[in-house]
Amino acid sequence: MTLLCALIGLLVGSFLNWARDYLPRFAAGGAIAPHAATARPRSALWQLVTSGMSRRDSIHPQRPAWGDIAVEIVTALLFAYLWERFGPSQRLLSLAVTGSFLLLITIIDLKYRLIPNVLVYPAMAVTLLLHSMPPGRDTITALLGGAVGLFPFLLVALARPGEMGGGDVKLAALIGLSTGFPQVLWPLSVGILAGGITAVFLLLTRRWGLKSHIPYGPFLCLGAALSLVYNPLLPTLLL
């Protein structure tokens, strides 16, 4: 069964790679990735295997990007681990969906410097709906977390235009809604720290300049993902 879950994760990874190029069509008047309209989800790992087999039949065999393969491997390992850890449960489904969502946000922002509203707004609505349902959910706590995530990033975006995009602001608000207050302070702190360390490293190595735009989405997603494993503001481990 673990192998089957890994296979499902592999297919989910190929879908995420497809969605990475398809969803940005809904932003900027569809100017981004217009080719994705006709593309279909395909496994990059399978393409790598078959490209090696067909090398004799083609002078220049087409090979997938290693980043696409990495995404599929990550989702395969994630799904296999979650099955081993939780078995058939609601917790497995919740973590699989959350992890896939965060990974999708990450790969879109890394490639297009964009966090699509078509992902963030529905996620906000679903999060608020879940927090309004019993047992043990608190809408006020979620809204406070969303405010704590929203306003600091919004102030930075307004004070320094171009430094931080609106997608980063909305993603921080979404993470706040999901975790609530005061738990939101942990993933945001991790994301800000990781982003700052990476920025300093890239500046010192002269890979980026002072005016380079750093995508904060992946770092915020990293903080959110780590908060699923451990959050010191909660009494127990989450994963």
Asked if 80 and 128 sit in the same domain, the reply is no
Distances (CA, A) of 108 to 49, 136, 140, 159: 25, 33, 31, 25
Taking only the tens of pLDDT, the chain with its 239 residues reads 889 999 999 999 999 999 998 888 877 555 455 555 445 666 766 666 666 555 555 555 555 677 888 999 999 999 999 999 888 888 899 899 999 999 999 999 998 889 999 999 999 999 988 887 776 557 888 899 999 999 988 998 888 777 778 889 999 999 999 998 889 999 999 999 998 888 888 878 766 655 667 788 999 999 999 988 887 776 544 54
Last residue of a domain, one of 58, 79, 114: 114
Asked if 38 and 104 sit in the same domain, the reply is yes
Asked if 82 and 190 sit in the same domain, the reply is no
Count structural domains, the chain: 2
pLDDT at 175: 94
Cα dihedral sign, 41-44-45-50: positive
Asked if 92 and 202 sit in the same domain, the reply is no
Domain that residue 108 falls in: 1-114
Asked if 68 and 153 sit in the same domain, the reply is no
DSSP single-letter state for residue 183: T
Asked if 104 and 127 sit in the same domain, the reply is no
Last residue of a domain, one of 60, 92, 114: 114
Asked if 149 and 237 sit in the same domain, the reply is yes
Beta carbons of 75 and 100 less than 8 angstroms apart? yes
Measured CA to CA, the distance from residue 167 to residue 183 in angstroms comes to 21
Other C-beta atoms lying within 10 Å of the C-beta of residue 85: 12
Other C-beta atoms lying within 10 Å of the C-beta of residue 132: 11
Asked if 55 and 125 sit in the same domain, the reply is no
pLDDT at 237: 47
Last residue of a domain, one of 88, 114, 140: 114
Asked if 103 and 177 sit in the same domain, the reply is no
Asked if 36 and 145 sit in the same domain, the reply is no
Measured CA to CA, the distance from residue 115 to residue 188 in angstroms comes to 17
In 3D, which of 223, 6, 216 has the Cα closest to residue 96?
Answer: 6
Asked if 172 and 105 sit in the same domain, the reply is no
Asked if 139 and 23 sit in the same domain, the reply is no
